[in-house]
C-alpha cells in the first residue's frame, strides 16, 4: 500500500471510492440535494451537469480535480458568461465536492483553493427610480391595476423583495411607537412560504407616502 493510500485510510477515506468519476457521482448528489436546499438553489445546481466541461466530467474524485476545476472556471469565463453565473457554478461545484468529502469519497475539496476569474463583460449597475420617476411609474401602472401599482409603491419605499411582499399580513403592520412592517417570511414564485433569504426577521420603517395608501395597503397585506 502506497503512502497516499495509507494517509487516505487514516482519514477514513477509501482510496477505491475516489476512482468513481464526477459523471457517476453527480446524479447521486443531486438526488440528495433536491430535498436539502431551496428550490432556487436546486435549480441552479441542476445546471452543473450541463455546464461541466468534458475533462471535468471524466475527472475522478481525487486531488487532481483541482486542476480541472480551475480549467472549467476559465473555460466558462471565456464563453462570456456573467461573473455572477460563474460564481454560482463554482458554488454548486464546491457543494458537490464537499458532499464527496462528507461521504468519505475524497479527502479534500478541490474547489476550496480555486478562484473565479474576473468577468470580461460590462457590469450592469442597478439605478433606483428617483422619487418623481417612481410617482410617474406608479401613475402609469394604476391606470391598469390600482392594487398592483400600490404594491409596487410599497415595495419601492420599504425595500421588500416580491417574495417577502407576498407574505406580508395586516398583523405585521405596527404603528406604535413608529410605523414598521415586521418581515419574517417569504414566498418565492411557485414555491411554499419559508423564512426570509437571510433567515432572520427584521423591521422595515414605513414612510408617510406608503401610509397614505390607506386601504390599498391593507388590501395588499391581507391578500
Q: Is the full-model pTM beyond 0.85? A: no
Instruction: Name the pLDDT band for 117 (thresholds 50, 70, 90).
Output: confident
Which domain CATH number covers 11?
1.10.150
Highest mean pLDDT among 44-53, 190-199, 204-213: 204-213
Whether residue 216 is predicted with pLDDT greater than 50 in this model: the reply is no
pLDDT at residue 199 tops 50: yes
Q: Give the confidence band of 13 by pLDDT, cuts at 50, 70, 90.
A: very low
Q: Tell me, yes or no, whether 108 lies in a domain.
A: no
Out of 37-46, 75-84, 99-108, 119-128, least confident range:
119-128
- 98 in the same domain as 45: yes
Are the CB atoms for 164 and 172 separated by under 8 Å? no
For 122-144, the pLDDT digits (tens) are: 566 678 888 999 999 999 999 99
- Decide if pLDDT at 179 tops 60: yes
Bond into 177 cis (ω within 30): yes
* Domain assignment present for 126: no
Q: For the chain, what is the domain count?
A: 2
Is 21 part of any domain? yes
Q: Are residues 46 and 90 in the same domain?
A: yes
One domain for residues 141 and 208: yes
DSSP the chain: --HHHHHHHHTT--TTGGGSBHHHHHHHHHHHHTTTS-HHHHHHHHTHHHH--HHHHS-BSSTTHHHHHHHHHHHHHHTT--HHHHHHHHHHHHHHHHHHHHTTS-SS-TTTT--PPPP-SPP----PPPHHHHHHHHHHHHTT-HHHHHHHHHHHHH---HHHHTT--GGGEE-SSS-EEEE-EE--TTS--EE-TTS--EEEE--HHHHTTTHHHHHHHT-
Q: Is 203 inside a domain boundary?
A: yes
Do 9 and 96 lie in a common domain?
A: yes
Looking at residue 162, its pLDDT comes to 85
Q: Are residues 18 and 77 in the same domain?
A: yes
pLDDT of residue 139: 93
Domain finish residue from 51, 81, 102: 102
pLDDT, tens digit (0-9, with 9 covering 90-100), for 135-169: 999 999 999 999 889 888 888 888 888 888 888 88
Distance in angstroms (rounded) separating the CA atoms of residues 130 and 142: 18
Strands 185-186 and 194-195: antiparallel
Question: Within this chain, do residues 54 and 144 fall inside the same structural domain, yes or no?
Answer: no
- High-pLDDT (> 90) share of the chain, %: 9
The verdict on residue 125 lying in a domain is: no
Q: Which domain holds residue 74?
A: 3-102
Q: Show which of 60, 86, 102 is a domain's final residue.
A: 102
In the chain, the percentage of residues whose pLDDT exceeds 70 is 77
Provide mean pLDDT across the span 75-80. Answer: 82
Amino acid at each position: 500500500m502506497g503512502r497516499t493510500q495509507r494517509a487516505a485510510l487514516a482519514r477514513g477515506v477509501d482510496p477505491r471510492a475516489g476512482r468513481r468519476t464526477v459523471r457517476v457521482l453527480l446524479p447521486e448528489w443531486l438526488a440528495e440535494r433536491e430535498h436539502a436546499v431551496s428550490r432556487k438553489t436546486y435549480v441552479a445546481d441542476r445546471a452543473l451537469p450541463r455546464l461541466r466541461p468534458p475533462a471535468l466530467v471524466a475527472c475522478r474524485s481525487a486531488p487532481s480535480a483541482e486542476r480541472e476545476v480551475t480549467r472549467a472556471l476559465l473555460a466558462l469565463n471565456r464563453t462570456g458568461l456573467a461573473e455572477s453565473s460563474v460564481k454560482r457554478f463554482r458554488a454548486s461545484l464546491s457543494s458537490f465536492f464537499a458532499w464527496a468529502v462528507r461521504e468519505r469519497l475524497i479527502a479534500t475539496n478541490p474547489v476550496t483553493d480555486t478562484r473565479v476569474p474576473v468577468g470580461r463583460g460590462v457590469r450592469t449597475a442597478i439605478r433606483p427610480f428617483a422619487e418623481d420617476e417612481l410617482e410617474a411609474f406608479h401613475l402609469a401602472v394604476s391606470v391598469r391595476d390600482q392594487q398592483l401599482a400600490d404594491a409596487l409603491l410599497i415595495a419601492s419605499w420599504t425595500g421588500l423583495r416580491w417574495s417577502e411582499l407576498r407574505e406580508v399580513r395586516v398583523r405585521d403592520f405596527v404603528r406604535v411607537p413608529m410605523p414598521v412592517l415586521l418581515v419574517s417570511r417569504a414566498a418565492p414564485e411557485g414555491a411554499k412560504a419559508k423564512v426570509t433569504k437571510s433567515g432572520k426577521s427584521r423591521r422595515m420603517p414605513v414612510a408617510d407616502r406608503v401610509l397614505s395608501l390607506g386601504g390599498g395597503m391593507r388590501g395588499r397585506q391581507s391578500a
